[in-house]
Amino acid sequence: MFDAPHPKSLTTLFVGFQDQDNLGLRYLMGAAKAGGHRVGIETFSTDADALVARALKERPDFIGFSLIFQYMTGQFAEVIDALRKAGVTSHIAVGGHFPSFDYETVLSVVEGADSVIRFEGEATLMDLLDRLGQGQDWRDLPGLVARLEDGSLKANPLRKQIMDLDTVPWPERADISYEAADQPTAAILGSRGCPWNCDFCSIRPFYEAQEGSLRRLRSPEDVMEEMRHLYHARGVALFLFQDDDFLATGARARKWAGTLSDLIVDSDIGGKVAWKMSCRSDELRPDIIARMLNGGLTHVYMGVESGDVQGLKNMKKMMSPQKHIEAGNMLRAAGLSFDFGFMLMDPWSDIRMIRSNIAFLDDFVGDGWAVAGFCRMLPYSGTPVERKLKAEGRLTGTGFEPDYRFLDPKLDRYYAWLLETFHTRNFTNQGLAHLLRGMIFESRLQSPQTRWMTEEETRWLQYITARANQSAFVTLGQALDYIDRTPLDEIVTYGGFLGDLTQRELAEQHHLTRQLEAFWSEPSRQIRRRARHDAWLGGGFERSWTHAEPSWETQGIGVR
């Protein structure tokens, strides 16, 4: 499919955010390049001048936009409109989760787009480029929504999935300056899809829409060869697996992950690379942790989401809070750092559930092994929770910024206070949680040669993290008690008792942040960090998570 000769080589340009390499775009670029087309990529910016200038200079035949954040649809529309007003006549397509689920809304706003490539896009893109190159009509292609000449939309049948992922060309990375980075760090995928059906997530619906499998695995050999190539050709030694769930599908997945780990150990990059992966808490076992650790595992992100039995039921997580505790203890025993997603509130939360979640967080990370971040659930397009809220008549906001009110109006006040108090801490690059995550990541790197922090420094960092966590838990609990005992019409969100709590918590955040900055910038410590034996490890945390600036997105499901 991808290496067949094409009748005409086209110039293509892909536009999107480039955090964590944007593998979605880069897989499309890899497919286009394998097909003989010229490829380029431009980082999305709301200032369209650079993109317009490039498009006018290069005159691409095709421009593809990756719309990751649905709340940014309007900004994408403005940029595409600027291209059209400047006289750019390229075929413009939009792709991503939101356009795949709600193409009518997207194309009604993004008037300059010709099409939406729905769901998995490599095969659709290749056929589209073929048709464009031959000057043939493209509007009937499977997997595509076409804007017709009269302005109406034609949604064609979806394609089947590509079942053998080893046949898909590797992501195109030629433009990434890995070699110039302080820490060469690359995102990588070992699989696609997730079999779980969590109510807040659009991943299963995204892959379920196309005929095929809920999770497809690349062969361990193909994954390891891509890692070897990036290590030897580009100097990359820290890998961020972007798999939605690295251990999903039980024994099959554990065998796959173990085989990959063993292959790394036996290869010429064994002991020279480290990697991070994501999974559910209940998928971890001591034996597979040990094998992955031997193969370079250094950090785990867990989808914890709730520590309350009813909250987990609301989300259809199909596990107990105890599984989270057990997973955290396994990772501690292995000396691994971890981070986790957590939704303190969901659309069906009540005061008891929130109190239960706060108590759980204290049990889970009160010791400071990991920083406690928290947010609320948002009803993203294509998710079961969006459909439930719509059926209940509770879905508010807009098509691009969906929202809801809590069943207990007191909790709307509580959440407004929570944002005022914890937004900087939880959701910004300057926030306490971000600083702690980065330092924790470096403090527990698994190669002995890379551990530049002393045991005493690591213990101090854990102590500071515990202080930050405990301050948050106490503040959250005291605010909830006030909300619970105070009549709704007497609750003062931005002053009085809650205002005092906010000021106390912000003062503690500021104090701990200053301590961390002083710790990190101390000259002898930085000399030690730069002089460690394996200088290629560490510092990669900055590329491990996308930390959005203050926005609607950060008020919801959080960042990862």
- pLDDT, tens digit (0-9, with 9 covering 90-100), for 214-273: 999 999 999 999 999 999 999 999 999 999 999 999 999 999 999 999 999 999 999 999
- pLDDT per residue over 361-392, tens digit each? 999 999 999 999 999 999 998 999 999 999 99
Is residue 402 domain-resident? yes
- pLDDT per residue over 16-75, tens digit each? 998 778 999 999 999 999 999 999 999 999 999 999 999 999 999 999 999 988 889 999
- The alpha-carbon radius of gyration of the chain (Å, integer) is 24
pLDDT score at 442: 86
pLDDT score at 300: 97
Is residue 307 within 8 A of residue 324, CB to CB? The reply is yes
- Domain that includes residue 288, residue range: 177-555
CATH number for 464: 3.80.30.20
What is the spatial distance between Cα 311 and Cα 348, in angstroms, rounded to a whole number?
A: 8
Query: Given pLDDT bands bounded at 50, 70 and 90, which one contains residue 535?
Result: very low
For residues 519, 520, 521 and 525, what is the CA-based torsion angle, rounded to 10 degrees? 90
Burial class of residue 35 (count of CB atoms within 10 Å of its CB; 0-12, 13-18, 19+): buried
Of 225, 534, 258, 477, the residue nearest 357 (C-alpha): 477
Is residue 156 within 8 A of residue 195, CB to CB? The reply is no
Is residue 218 within 8 A of residue 191, CB to CB? The reply is yes
Is residue 495 domain-resident? yes
Q: Is 263 helix (H, G, I), strand (E, B) or coil?
A: helix
pLDDT score at 546: 32
Is residue 102 within 8 A of residue 399, CB to CB? The reply is yes
- pLDDT per residue over 126-135, tens digit each? 999 999 999 9
Mean predicted lDDT score pLDDT of the chain: 91
Q: What DSSP string runs through 40-79?
A: EEEE--S--HHHHHHHHHH--SEEEEE---GGGHHHHHHH
- pLDDT per residue over 278-328, tens digit each? 999 999 999 999 999 999 999 999 999 999 999 999 999 999 999 999 999
CATH number for 134: 3.40.50.280
Is residue 161 domain-resident? no
| Last residue within a domain, chosen from 108, 125, 155 | 155
Q: 267 and 317: one domain?
A: yes
Give backbone dihedrals phi and psi of 63, rounded to 5 degrees, phi first: -125, 125
Count of CA atoms in the C-beta half-sphere (13 A) of 465: 30
pLDDT score at 548: 34
The reported pTM is 0.92
Q: Is 521 helix (H, G, I), strand (E, B) or coil?
A: helix
Task: Specify the number of domains making up the chain.
Answer: 2
Both tokens of 387, joined, read 């459909």
- pLDDT per residue over 133-190, tens digit each? 999 999 999 999 999 999 999 999 999 999 999 999 999 999 998 887 767 899 999 9
Q: 145 and 216: one domain?
A: no
pLDDT score at 550: 35
Q: 368 and 486: one domain?
A: yes
pLDDT score at 421: 98
Q: 375 and 453: one domain?
A: yes
Q: 142 and 181: one domain?
A: no
Whole-Å CA distances, 193 to 162, 189, 220, 315: 12, 11, 16, 18
What is the spatial distance between Cα 305 and Cα 375, in angstroms, rounded to a whole number?
A: 9
Query: Given pLDDT bands bounded at 50, 70 and 90, which one contains residue 525?
Result: confident
Is residue 539 within 8 A of residue 442, CB to CB? The reply is yes
Query: Given pLDDT bands bounded at 50, 70 and 90, which one contains residue 460?
Result: very high
What percentage of the chain has pLDDT greater than the value 90? 82
